[in-house]
Structure formats: C-alpha cells, structure tokens
C-alpha cells in the first residue's frame, strides 16, 4: 500500500512539474513572437544605386537551330543607366535583335539545367553590355519557355 501511495505521489509531482514547465515555455514563446512582430525589418540594400532603371523588353519568340521544330519564348528586362526614353527604346530594339540572333544559333541542350540557364543569362548580359557601350548593367531573364 505504501508503494502505491508513493507512485501516486510521484505521478502527481511529475504532472505538476510538467504543467509548470509547459506554461513557462508557452509564455516564453509568446514573448518571442511579440518581439518579432514589433521588430522592424532592416532596409533592403540595393546593388543599383543612383540612376539605374529597369526597362522591360517586349517578348521575343523565335526558333532554335537544333532541333528545327523547337521554339523559344523569352521575356526579359534590362537594368540601364539614366537615358532618355527614345534612346532606351532604340537600345531595347537592338538588344532584342541580338537576343533573336543568339537564340537562332543555339540548341536546346545548351539551356538544360541551372548551369545552362546561367550561361544563357551571362551571354545575353555580355551581348547587351557590348551593344550599349556599357550602359546596360544587367539583363534579367524573367521567363524562358522552350517548346
């Protein structure tokens, strides 16, 4: 009988200790959640300071060199220095022509995987930078669909 009484007493002590620990952890979690709600996020640092502008190119659809029945559609934007809208429009048309020329000489296997997409992005950025005499900082590929 003493043994049963001791087990019951220990069980009650364990239940009480567990309940107190649970309440303490719950209160601590609420304090952390409230602190995160009131904290202000740090401002986002832009890698483009000053006069950089994002200009959207019109969608480009063209066929690829191999296999002949594959088509590519690309939507891209370019990050440029400040320039007039007329000059930017002319530059965007020239860059679109360069993208069509590049895609017509490319094959589907060149764009496979993340490495292929990164090479495409780098090649198109280099072409745009050369065409613009350094006025285009980056060419951003928004969508690429190969069918």
Q: Which tens digits make up the pLDDT trace of 94-106?
A: 999 999 999 999 9
Give the pLDDT confidence score for residue 111 in this predicted structure.
87
Phi first, then psi: give them for residue 115, nearest 5 degrees. -65, -40
Give the pLDDT confidence score for residue 34 in this predicted structure.
87
Average pLDDT over residues 30-34: 90
Distance, CA of 107 to CA of 60 (rounded, Å): 16
Residue 29: CB atoms within 10 Å: 10
CA-based diameter of the chain, in Å? 97
Read off the pLDDT of residues 47-103 as tens digits, 9 standing for 90 and up.
776 778 889 999 999 999 888 788 999 999 999 988 888 999 999 999 999 999 999
Going by C-alpha positions, the residue among 100, 52, 49 that lies closest to residue 76 is 100
Give the pLDDT confidence score for residue 92 in this predicted structure.
94
Give the pLDDT confidence score for residue 45 in this predicted structure.
66
Going by C-alpha positions, the residue among 95, 93, 100, 105 that lies closest to residue 74 is 100
Distance, CA of 63 to CA of 70 (rounded, Å): 6
Sign of CA pseudo-dihedral 84, 59, 53, 97: negative
Sign of CA pseudo-dihedral 59, 143, 101, 105: negative
Q: Any idea what DSSP says for residue 32?
A: H
Residue indicated by tokens 């969608």: 59
Give the pLDDT confidence score for residue 81 in this predicted structure.
84
3-state secondary structure of 27: helix
Query: What's the distance, CA 23 to chain centroid?
Result: 41
């Amino acid at each position: 009988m003493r043994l049963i009484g001791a087990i019951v007493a220990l069980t009650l002590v364990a239940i009480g200790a567990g309940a107190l620990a649970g309440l303490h952890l719950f209160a601590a979690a609420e304090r952390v959640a409230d602190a995160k709600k009131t904290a202000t996020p740090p401002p986002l640092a832009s890698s483009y300071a000053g006069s950089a502008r994002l200009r959207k190119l019109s969608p480009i659809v063209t066929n690829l060199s191999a296999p002949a029945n594959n088509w590519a559609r690309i939507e891209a934007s370019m990050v440029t220095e400040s320039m007039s809208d007329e000059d930017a429009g002319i530059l965007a048309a020239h860059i679109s022509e360069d993208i069509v020329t590049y895609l017509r000489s490319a094959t589907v296997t060149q764009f496979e995987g993340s490495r292929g997409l990164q090479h495409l992005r780098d090649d198109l950025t280099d072409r745009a930078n050369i065409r613009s005499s350094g006025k285009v900082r980056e060419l951003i590929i928004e969508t690429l669909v190969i069918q």
